[in-house]
Amino acid sequence: MSHPTVLLIGNLAHTNKEWESLSSKYTLLEFRKGTREEFLENCKNGTYAAVRGCYRSNVSTAITGPFDKELVAALPEPWKFIAHNGAGYDNIDVEACSARKIAVSSTPVAVDDATADTGILLMLGALRFAHEPLVALREGRWKGNLRLGHDPRGKTLGILGMGGIGRAMAHRARSFGMEIIYHNRRRLDPALEKGAKYVSFDELLTQSDVLSLNLALNEKTRHIISAPELARTKKGVVVVNTARGALINEADLVDALESGQVSAVGLDVFENEPEIHPGLVKNDRAFLLPHLGTSTYETQRDMELLVLKNLQAAVDEGKMLTLVGEQKGLDWVPKEADS
């Protein structure tokens, strides 16, 4: 009896040995480098005819391009699982996958702590207007044109998207004496709220001293924060984003920052990465990082391991550990496996 076939797309940084060990029960194929055209040709010429599922990542998008409608349509019929490395998966057309009854998993949980740590770093950097003195110090100007910053104590942190990362952010913020409010599509179980107050979207905008974006990017959430929403925020709000840049209309954010409606921003993600709006780059009240949210050894390894576990659960048991939210509850999707 032949082994099931699985495909690795892109490279592994920390789990090559674990991947190679799967050869005892799977036929392993690899597409570590190449082009989208070559990948599509492999789908058409039979190279991937037996593939049951794949490991892919946000980084591998540079090789195949996005898993959009065209690419998903080209996948051979036996291909029923996409184990994705990334908490965000906006480069996968989940609707197209669902139409083909292809299940998709992502890597929540594994990214929660590192991303929340980055969120706190950005929040504190923005509250203390840290960019200018950091630059001035290296230029020999000591503190430079120092502005007095603000303490987090007593401030209200508004979290848009109270999933794992949002809850990890709230947990850390409580230690600074912050009040926590949040908005989700649905209110959390009170046991998960841990004292956080559920509010409407409009209340989140009007009551937050710091607004943190911790939600997935999709067509419904793209530009969820634009000029009208920024106009409804508290004067002098601080905006923090560790999720996806396109959740915010970057040009509108620059306008609000320059007008003073937004006092400072802490951003790890940008609308058109790696390009950044010049109005953010030149503004000394913008505390910026180049998408470092999950850039730790421990988190990157945990993410890769979770993807491999998802792939194995899918092929061996017809289950997935961390199915994407859009597919949960659909009648054809695999059951969620026990972690």
Give residue-wise pLDDT tens across range 18-61. Answer: 999 999 999 999 999 999 999 999 999 999 999 999 999 999 99
* Neighbour count for residue 241 (Cβ, 10 Å): 25
Considering the chain, what percentage of its residues have pLDDT values greater than 90? 95
Q: Which of 125, 133, 132, 134 lies closest to 152, judged by CA?
A: 125
pLDDT value of position 7: 98
Q: What is the H or E stretch that residue 157 is in?
A: strand 156-160
Interior angle at CA 8, CA 103 and CA 58, nearest 5: 70
Active-site amino acid positions: 244, 273, 291
236-270 residue pLDDT tens: 999 999 999 999 999 999 999 999 999 999 999 99
Phi, psi angle pair for 51, to nearest 5°: -65, 125
98-136 residue pLDDT tens: 999 999 999 999 999 999 999 999 999 999 999 999 999
* Neighbour count for residue 23 (Cβ, 10 Å): 10
For residue 1, is pLDDT > 70? no
195-248 residue pLDDT tens: 999 999 999 999 999 999 999 999 999 999 999 999 999 999 999 999 999 999
Q: Which of 164, 233, 238 lies closest to 204, judged by CA?
A: 233
Q: Which of 221, 215, 203, 206 lies closest to 241, judged by CA?
A: 215
Q: How far apart are CA 331 and CA 311, in angstroms?
A: 20
